[in-house]
Chain A
Amino acid sequence: MKRKIMLSPASFVPGPQGPRPLVQSVDYCTRCNACVQSCPSYLLRQEEAFSPRGRNQIVRLLLERKIKISDNPSLLKDTICACLLCARCTAACAGALPVPDHMLALRRAMHLQLLPKPLMLLLRLGNTCPEIFERLVRTGYFFRRFGRRPIRCLGGLLATGGLAWLKHADDILPQKPSTLKTLFKKQHIALHPKEPDIVYLPSFEASYLMAQTALKMWQLLQPKKVYVLWGQSSGLLEYLYGDKTLAVKQFKRLLLKWEKLGTRKKLPLITDSIELYGFLKHSPVLFATLPGWQKRAQALADHMQFVSHLRFTKTVNAKRCALDASTVLYPAGEAAVRAQKIFKTHFGKNFVECEYSHYAIAAAGLAFVPQTRAEEMVLENVKDVARRQIQEVYCLSGLAALELNASLRRHYPQAQAKHMVFMQDEP
C-alpha cells in the first residue's frame, strides 16, 4: 500500500532570528547561488538538482505544487540522500538559510521511501532495547569470524542512507570490537555512580562499535564522577532518518533523564560526537510551538559540551597532524574552532592547517553517494593527506574517523585517522 507523502509547510526550521515555518524559510532563498561552491555533492555532480539552491527550490516548488514527488522520485531521493547535511551552504548563505533542515523536512516527508522498514525497526530497537541491540551487533561480529559474507548480508540490509558504511563494515570496524557495556565491565568501571558531576552521552559508534573511544573519554573526564548514559537515545537518528514526532519523544526522554540526574544543580552533558553535539545544541527548534519545552531544551543546550571543551594537558607530539572538521548535520562552528585552537597550541608547527573544502568530505561515506563517486571523493581526500605528508588526521566524529581510516589504510597507510579524544597518547 502506498502512503501519501506530505510535506508540511508549517513545520519549523531554524532561522537567523529564531525558528520560522518551512514555507517562509524557503522563500528567503534569493537564488544568488553563493552556496553552490561550498556543497561537496554539487562539486561532484555539477547539476542544479544537487546544489543547495536546487534542493531549496525543490522544496519550494513542491510546496507551491509546481512539481510533484511522483514526477521524478528517483532524482528527488538521490538529491536528498546526497545532501551531507553539513550546513556549509548555510555558512555561505547571506541569509543563513538552513538548507539541511529543508532537506530533513523533505526526508521526513519521504522517509518511508528512503529507509526500508526492517532498518527502521532495527534502529528503534537500538534506542528502546539497547541490550537486545547489543546482542545483535555481537552476533554480527561473531559471524564475521567465519568470513566476510554474513556481515555483508547484514550490510545489504542496512546499506541505505546514513548507514552506507556498513557495506564495508568488514574493512572499517576495529579488529577486536567490543561494546561499551562489556568493556566498562571488564575495566570494573561503574556506569551509573551516585551523585555524579558530569553526564556523558556516548555516540552510537562509541556505544556499539568502538568502545575504546568511550573509555578514553571517561579517562579524560577523571577525576570527575561520570554518569554514562549508555543506551539512551537522543533522537538524532530519528531526526535524520525517521519520524520527527519519534525524535521529539526520544529527546524528551533524554531531557527528563538529564533533569532527573541534576535535581540540585544542572549537570553538564558531554558527548564525543560533533553531530550529536550539533543536534542537541539545536534541539530547541523541535519545540518551536511549545515555549515551556523549548525553555527546558534550551537549558540542556546551554549545558552541552564537546570534547573540545575539555582541558588537555600540554604534551609534545612530533607527528604532523591535521584536523578534519567534517560533520554531518550542523557545523557546530564554535566547537570546531575550539578544537582547532587546541591542536594549534599542542602541535605547534606540526599542525597542518587544511582547506576546509578537502577535509569536510571525509563524511562522504556517511551519506548516500554512488559508490564510484564516494571513492572519488575519499581518494581526493587521501591525496591531500599524502600531498601534505600528514601522519595523523584527527576527526571530531567517530564515524568520520572510521571512514577516513578505512580509505587511508587502503591507499596511504603512512597516515591514520583517529577520534580527537586520542590526541594525547598514554606515555
Chain B
Amino acid sequence: MQIKPYVLKQLKYLVGAENVQTDPVSLALNGYDCSQSRFRPDAVVTVKNPSLLEPLVCLLAQEKIPFIARAAATNHAGSCSAVKGGVVLNLNPLHQIYEINTACGFAETAPCTVTGDLQQALAPLGFFYAPDPASEKVSTLSGNLAQNASGARCLKYGNTCDNTLCIEFITPQGQTFTFRHDGPGPDWLGLTAGSEGTLGLIKRLRVKILPSPKHVKTFLATFPSLAASVQTVSDLVARGLIPRCVEAMDQITTQAVEEFAHAGYPTDAQALLIIELDGDLKQIKQDAQTLEELCKARGCQTFTAAKTEAEREKLWSGRRAAYSAMAALAPNVAVGDGTVPRSQLPAALAKVRGIIEQNGVTASLLFHAGDGNFHPQIVFDARSPEQTRRVNKALHEILKACVDCGGTVSGEHGIGVEKRAVMAYQYSRQTLRFFACIKKAFDPFNLANPGKIIPVGFEDKAALYQEQDPAVCRLAQEIKNRFEQKEKTAVIGSNSQWQTSGVQALSAACLNRILDIDKTNYMAVAQAGVRVKALLTALAQAGVYAQLPSDYNGTLGGLIASKAWPAFTAQMTGVQAVLPNGDIVNYGGKLMKNAAGYNLCRLFAGSVGALGMITKIFFKIYATPQVLPKQPAQPKLFFRPDPLFAAVKKTADPQFLFLSPAFEEERV
C-alpha cells in the first residue's frame, strides 16, 4: 500500500517534515520487535507532542490508512509490526512524568514513560509502581498496559490493568475518551488492557503507586519434585500468606544458569523456588517461620534465607541471568509464554519438557509459580530455516498443551501475529466472532494495528462451542428462538434493581448453582443466578472468602452487570455469556493471568444486560477475610451510554433485541 503524496504532505505539515520518514532504512528499522516477525510500514511518523495525536489519527482515519503505535517494541509476539503496511507512529518521545501525587497515591504520565524511569522517580519518595515486567528498564507504561504485561509481583499486587487508575484514550476515529474502572457502563479501561493497540491509542495514563515495603526478605527453597514446589505455593496462598513474588526454575534451567552466573543454586534439586516476602519486620519474621514450616512439610531439601543485601542480590542474579545464559548459547532466543491454573503446572511443565525433547530443541524453563505462568526460552539460529521451523512447531505445541490443561496461550506477552493461529485452538468460533465484533465496533475500517489478535479465517479453523450444562443450553436456545423471531428480551437476575415486567423478561435465576470452590487454585466458579448472600454463606462454609458485599440482595450476575461493586471486576478471571443471537462465548478460567484476546470480563461488567446474558463467572477467593470498601453496593443502571457503548451495542445487537435500562430510549 502506497501513501499518496498529498497525504504525506499533510502529515509533514502536521508533525514537521523531519518527523516523517519514508526511506527504506527508516521503514526497515520500524518493522520489527523482539519476535521473529518483520513487516515494513509505508511511513514512520515520530510524534513529539501528545496534542498532535488526535489530529494525526483523524487524518489517517479520513484517508483510511492503517496505523500502528510503536513504543519500545520489546514484545515477543509481533504486536507492533505493520502486517498490512500503513503508518508506524513512533511515540517514544512522549515520555514525561507529569505528576506524582503521594498523598492520593497516583502518578500521571505520558504514554511512553519507561516503567523503570517511573520506578526511579518514585524510589526517593518511598513509593513504587507494582507491575514489574522483566523488561521494565526499557518497556513503556502504555506498552505494558496494551499487552497487560505484569511480571512477578502480579500475585500480590495485581496486573498492570489493576494498577492503572485512568487513561485518556484515542479511538481510531480520533475521538478522545477518559476511561476509568469505576465509571458506569463497561470497564473500557479493562477492555483496552491487553488489546495491543487494536482498539486505539493511549494518550495519557494515571497509575496507582504504593508505599514501598520497609523490609524485603528473599528465600531460596529446593524441592525433590515440581509438584511439591507448586503445592507449597498453593499451601502458602491457602494460609493467606501471599508472597511479593514466587519465581521458579526446573533442574535443567538451574544447571544452565548456575554454569553461567554462579549464583550458588543447588543443582541436584528437581525444582527451585525463590520466594520474596515484604512488609514490616515483625510480620516478615512470622511469615518466614510459616514459610519454612510449609516448605519442610512438602519435603523441601534446602531452605535458605538471604541474610544480607549482597546475598539477596546473588540469589536474584541467577534468575535475572537466565535470559543471558540462553542468549549466549545461540543467536536467537524465542521466549514462549503460557499460563495454566496453578494446580496444572506440574502436568503442563512435564508436557512442555516432552515437547521440547520431541522436537530436539534446547530450552530453559522459568515459571512464576504463584500465577501459573511459565516462559520456555528456546535457543535457535534463525538463519537455519529447519531450526526455525522446529522451534515454531514446538512453541505452537506448547501453547496447545497449555490450552489442553485449561490454560491460555498468553499470560502476559500478548498475541500479536505470532500467536494468532493458536487463538483458533483456544477460543471457539463464537467467541472469536465476538472479538471481531468488538474490534469492528471500535474500529469499523480496521485501521488501528490491523491483523493482530484475531486469527485469519477463524470461521473455518475454530471449532463451534457446545455447552454441556442443560440449563444454559435451554436459555441459549430460548434467546436464539427470540433472535430468529426478532422478539425483544430483558435480561434479569432476581429483578431486584430494574424491576421490569412483561413477557420479555428472561431471568437467569434458574442458573443458581455454585459449580466449584477450588482451594488449590483459590478460584471459585458460580452461575450468574446465584444470590450473593447464598454464595457468601457457601464460601464461608468452605472456609474461604471473596471480595463481595454481604448486604447485597440480588444475584451475582446482577451485581456484575450493574457494576454495583466495581472492586469485584478485578476479581473476575473468567466469564461465560449468551449473546443476543444465542451464541455462547467463553473467556478466561481459573487463571491468574490472561492476555489472550479482549478481556470480556471487563466488557460484561457494567454492561447492564445490553450485550448479553452472563451465565457463569470465575473469580478469586481468599483464605483470609478481605477488607472491603465501606460504601454500600450501588447498582449503576440508568445512565446515558457513551458513544463507545452505543457502538458496541449496535454491532453486537444491531436489532436492539436485548433491552437494557441504559438504553431505555431505544425501548421506547
Contact = CB atoms under 8 A, between A and B. Distances in A.
Is B one of A's binding partners? yes
Nearest to B139: A33
B317 to A, nearest CB: 13
Interface in A44-79: 46-49, 54, 57-58, 61, 66-68, 71-72, 75-76
A31 to B, nearest CB: 5
Contact of B25 (A27, A31, A36, A71): A71
Contact of A33 (B21, B29, B135): B135
B32 A33 contact: no
A28 interface: yes
B323 A37 contact: no
A49 B28 CA distance: 10
Contact of A27 (B95, B138, B382): B382
Interface in A69-98: 71-72, 75-76, 94-96
B381 interface: yes
A16 B325 CA distance: 12
B327 A30 contact: yes
Interface residues of B, number: 35
B45 to A, nearest CB: 11
Nearest to A42: B92
A54 B73 CA distance: 11
Interface residues of A, number: 30
Interface stretch (B294-302, B328-336, B489-497): B328-336
Contacts of B25: 49, 58, 61, 67, 71-72, 75-76
A380 to B, nearest CB: 15
B222 interface: no
B362 to A, nearest CB: 15
A95 B324 contact: yes
B28 A36 contact: no
A406 B74 CA distance: 39
B74 A30 contact: no
A76 B29 CA distance: 12
Contacts of B72: 33, 36
Contacts of A10: none
B92 A34 contact: no
Interface string B1-35: 00000000000000000000101111011101110
Nearest to A15: B328
Given A67-B24, A71-B24, A34 B331 contact: no
A256 interface: no
B333 A47 contact: no
A32 interface: yes
B95 A46 contact: yes
Contact of B23 (A28, A31, A66, A72): A72
Contacts of A54: 29
Contacts of B34: 30-33
A405 B95 CA distance: 30
B48 to A, nearest CB: 8
A47 B46 contact: yes
Nearest to B22: A72
Contacts of B117: 37
B28 to A, nearest CB: 5
Nearest to B112: A46
Contact of B29 (A28, A34, A46, A57): A57
A57 B328 contact: no
Contacts of A31: 32-34, 73
Contacts of A30: 34, 327, 331-333
Contacts of B138: 33-34, 36-37
A334 B95 CA distance: 34
Contacts of A95: 324, 327-328
Contacts of B331: 24, 27-30
Contacts of B328: 16, 94-96
Contact of B73 (A24, A33, A34, A47): A33
Interface string A15-29: 010000000100111
A27 B383 contact: yes
B114 interface: yes
Nearest first, the 10 closest Cβ-Cβ pairs linking A and B are A94-B324, A94-B327, A72-B23, A46-B92, A27-B331, A95-B327, A71-B24, A46-B93, A72-B25, A48-B29
Interface of B: 21, 23-26, 28-30, 32-34, 46, 72-74, 90, 92-93, 95, 114, 116-117, 135, 137-138, 323-324, 327-328, 331-333, 381-383
7 contacts: A24-B331, A27-B381, A31-B33, A34-B137, A37-B117, A57-B29, A71-B25
Given A30-B333, A96-B328, 8 more contacts: A37-B116, A37-B138, A46-B93, A48-B73, A57-B32, A58-B25, A61-B25, A67-B25
